C-alpha cells in the first residue's frame, strides 16, 4: 500500500516539476514564476534540494542510532545506523552530481570549490571514511562500536564548517526558498510541488531504509 | 579511597604515570621521534628541491606549512595506541587505570610530541624557505600552539579507533582528514594573516574558533574513549 502511494506520489511530482510551464507573470494556478538568474534551470531544485536534505538527514539518523548502539549494545541499532549511512552516501553522491551538472550550466564549471560544494565534499569524505573503517573491522560488535564513535566525532566537528566557510569564500549558491531578505520567490504552486517533492523523497528514503535494515538483519541471522 | 579529593588526585597521578611510561618507552626506542623528524626533514627538502631557484608566494607557503604538519602528525601519532595493541599490553593497562586517565595521559604525550615536532618544522621551514616571512609573530605563535593542541586532540581519538581496527597505518589519514579539515583551514588562514602583517586583534575570530574546536573535540573524546577502549 505504502509502495503504491509512494509510486503515484513521486510520478505526479516528476510530471509536475518537469511539465508545468514557466512564465514571467504567472496568471493561472498551474504556472511557475521565472526566478531571476535561474530560469528553467530552477527546475533542478525539485530533485537536488531533497537529495541534499536526505544526505544530511541520513547522517543525523546514523549518528542517533550510533548513540543508541553505544547505550544499549543491540546489533539492531547498528544495522539501522549503517543502513542510514549507506543511503546517505548514495543521496550525498546524487546531490553532488546534480549540483555539479547545474553548476556547469550556471557557473560555467562543474566544480569551483564554492562553500556549499566544499561542505558536501567533506560530507562525502566522512561517509567514505566511515565505510572504509567498517570494512577494516571483522568482529561485528567492535565494528559497530568503532563506527558509532567515529560518526559521533565527525558529527560534532561538522558544524564548524558553517562558521569558517563564509570567512574563506562568499557563496554563489542560490537560496530560492528563504533568501537573505526573507522573501519567498516561489509562488504557491511551486512551493507546494517543492514541499511535496521533499516529503516524497523523505518517504522514498524511509522505504529504502526499512528494506535495507531488513536485508541486513536477514544476512546477519543467516550466518549463525 | 572514597573521598572525591583523593580520587581526583589519584586520577591525575595515573594520567601522569601513563604519560611517563610512554615517555620512557619512547626514549628507549625513539621510534616515533625519529620517524617524525625524518619525515619533516625529507618533506621540507623535497619542497626546497622542487622549488629550485623559484620562490613561492607567502600565502602558498603558509598553506604548504600545514600540509607538512598534517602529514607529519599522521606518520607518527598513531604509535601511542598501536604500540599497546602490538605489544599486547592494552589488557594490563585496562586493569591498572581508568579509561579517562589513559586517554588524558596519551593526549598529553601526543601533545608534547606534536608541539616539539611542529617547533622544529617551523624552524626548518623558515630557514630553508626564504619566501616564508612571518610579520606578526604573536599571531603565528598562537596559531602554531593552538593548532598543535587541536591536532593532538583529534588525532589521539582517531588513533584509538585505528588501533582497534585491523589496518593500522593506511586508514589513519583517511579517517583524520574530514575531522581535521576545519582546523587546518583555520590555521592556514591565520598563518596567512601572520605573513601579511595583520594586527593580533584581526585574528581573534580564528583563535576563538580554534579554542572552541579543541574544547568540543576533547570533551567528545573523553566521553567516547571509554567505549573504544573496553573490548
Classify residue A1 by its DSSP letter. -
Q: Is A157 on the interface with B (CB under 8 A)?
A: yes
pLDDT for A178 equals: 46
Instruction: Compute the count of residue pairs across chains A and B with CB atoms less than 8 Å apart.
Output: 82
Give residues with Cβ within 8 angstroms of A187, minimum separation 6.
Answer: A26, A31, A32, A33
A156 to B213: CB separation less than 8 angstroms, yes or no: no
- Interface test with chain B among A153, A156, A167, by most B beta carbons within 10 Å: A153
Residue of B nearest to A121 (CA): B178
Neighbours of B169 (CB within 10 A): 11
B205 to A167: CB separation less than 8 angstroms, yes or no: yes
Mutual angle of helices B137-164 and B204-229, in 10-degree steps: 20
pLDDT for B168 equals: 62
Contact A117, A111 (CB under 8 A): yes
B217 to A149: CB separation less than 8 angstroms, yes or no: no
pLDDT for B2 equals: 46
The verdict on pTM exceeding 0.90 is no
pLDDT for B149 equals: 95
Q: A169 to chain B nearest CA, in Å?
A: 12
For A204, phi then psi, to 5°, come to -60, -45
pLDDT for B122 equals: 93
Cα–chain-centroid distance for residue A132? 21
* Diameter over CA atoms, chain B: 67
Consecutive 10-residue runs of chain A (224 residues): their mean pLDDT?
Answer: 89 86 75 74 85 92 94 92 94 93 88 84 92 90 93 89 67 58 65 88 94 90 70
Residues of B in contact with A136 (CB under 8 A): 165-167, 171
Taking only the tens place, the pLDDT of each residue in A63-113 is 999 999 999 999 999 999 999 999 999 999 999 999 999 889 888 889 888
Contact B117, B125 (CB under 8 A): no
Q: What string of pLDDT tens digits covers the 231 residues of chain B?
A: 445 556 888 889 999 999 999 999 888 888 888 888 999 999 999 998 998 878 788 888 999 999 999 999 988 888 888 888 888 888 888 888 888 999 999 999 999 999 999 999 999 999 988 888 888 899 999 999 999 999 999 999 999 999 888 766 688 999 999 999 999 989 998 999 999 888 888 888 889 999 999 999 999 999 999 999 887
Tell me which residue of B98, B94, B224 sits closest to B161, measured CA to CA: B224
Residue of B nearest to A139 (CA): B165
Tell me which residue of B162, B172, B175, B176 sits closest to B85, measured CA to CA: B162
Cα A97 from Cα A111, distance rounded (Å) = 10
Cα A196 from Cα A10, distance rounded (Å) = 9
Q: A74 to chain B nearest CA, in Å?
A: 14
pLDDT for B33 equals: 87
pLDDT for A71 equals: 93
Classify residue A29 by its DSSP letter. T
A164 to B161: CB separation less than 8 angstroms, yes or no: no
Cα A194 from Cα A185, distance rounded (Å) = 12
Q: B143 to chain A nearest CA, in Å?
A: 15
pLDDT for A166 equals: 62
Residues of B in contact with A167 (CB under 8 A): 189, 205
pLDDT for A185 equals: 63
Amino acid at each position: 500500500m505504502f509502495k503504491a502511494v509512494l509510486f503515484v506520489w513521486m510520478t505526479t511530482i516528476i510530471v509536475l516539476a518537469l511539465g508545468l510551464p514557466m512564465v514571467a507573470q504567472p496568471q493561472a494556478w498551474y504556472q511557475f514564476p521565472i526566478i531571476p538568474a535561474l530560469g528553467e534551470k530552477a527546475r533542478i531544485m525539485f530533485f537536488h534540494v531533497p537529495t541534499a536534505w536526505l544526505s544530511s538527514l541520513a547522517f543525523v539518523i546514523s549518528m542517533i542510532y550510533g548513540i543508541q548502539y553505544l547505550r544499549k549494545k543491540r546489533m539492531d541499532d547498528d544495522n539501522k545506523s549503517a543502513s542510514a549511512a549507506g543511503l546517505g552516501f548514495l543521496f550525498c553522491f546524487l546531490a553532488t552530481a546534480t549540483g555539479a551538472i547545474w553548476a556547469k550550466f550556471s557557473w560555467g564549471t562543474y566544480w569551483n570549490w564554492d562553500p556549499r560544494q566544499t561542505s558536501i565534499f567533506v560530507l562525502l569524505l566522512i561517509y567514505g571514511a566511515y565505510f572504509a573503517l567498517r570494512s577494516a573491522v571483522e568482529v561485528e560488535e567492535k565494528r559497530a562500536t568503532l563506527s558509532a564513535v567515529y560518526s559521533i566525532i565527525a558529527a560534532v566537528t561538522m558544524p564548524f564548517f558553517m562558521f569558517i566557510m563564509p570567512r574563506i569564500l562568499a557563496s554563489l549558491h542560490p537560496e530560492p526558498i528563504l533568501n537573505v531578505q526573507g522573501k519567498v520567490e516561489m509562488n504557491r504552486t511551486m512551493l507546494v510541488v517543492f514541499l511535496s517533492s521533499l516529503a516524497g523523497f523523505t518517504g522514498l528514503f524511509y522505504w529504502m531504509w526499512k528494506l535495507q535494515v531488513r536485508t541486513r538483519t536477514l544476512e546477519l541471522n543467516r550466518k549463525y | 579511597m572514597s573521598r572525591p579529593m583523593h580520587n581526583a588526585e589519584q586520577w591525575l597521578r595515573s594520567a601522569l604515570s601513563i604519560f611517563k611510561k610512554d615517555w620512557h618507552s619512547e626514549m628507549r626506542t625513539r621510534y616515533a621521534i625519529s620517524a617524525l623528524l625524518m619525515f619533516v626533514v625529507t618533506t621540507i627538502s623535497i619542497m626546497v628541491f622542487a622549488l629550485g631557484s623559484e620562490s613561492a608566494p607567502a600565502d602558498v607557503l603558509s598553506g604548504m606549512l600545514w600540509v607538512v604538519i598534517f602529514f607529519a602528525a599522521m606518520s607518527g601519532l598513531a604509535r601511542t595506541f598501536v604500540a599497546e595493541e602490538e605489544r599486547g599490553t592494552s589488557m594490563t593497562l585496562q586493569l591498572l587505570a581508568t579509561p579517562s586517565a589513559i586517554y588524558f595521559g596519551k593526549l598529553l604525550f601526543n601533545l608534547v610530541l606534536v608541539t616539539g615536532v611542529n617547533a622544529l618544522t617551523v624552524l626548518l621551514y623558515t630557514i630553508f624557505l626564504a619566501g616564508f616571512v612571518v610579520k606578526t609573530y604573536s599571531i603565528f605563535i598562537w596559531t602554531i600552539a593552538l593548532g598543535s593542541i587541536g591536532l593532538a586532540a583529534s588525532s589521539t581519538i582517531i588513533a584509538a579507533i585505528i588501533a582497534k581496527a585491523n589496518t593500522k597505518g593506511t586508514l589513519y589519514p583517511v579517517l583524520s582528514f574530514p575531522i581535521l579539515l576545519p582546523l587546518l583551514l583555520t590555521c592556514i588562514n591565520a598563518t596567512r594573516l601572520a605573513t601579511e602583517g595583520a594586527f593580533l586583534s584581526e585574528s581573534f575570530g580564528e583563535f576563538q574558533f580554534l579554542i572552541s574546536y579543541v574544547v568540543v573535540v576533547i570533551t567528545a573524546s573523553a566521553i567516547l574513549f571509554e567505549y573504544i577502549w573496553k573490548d
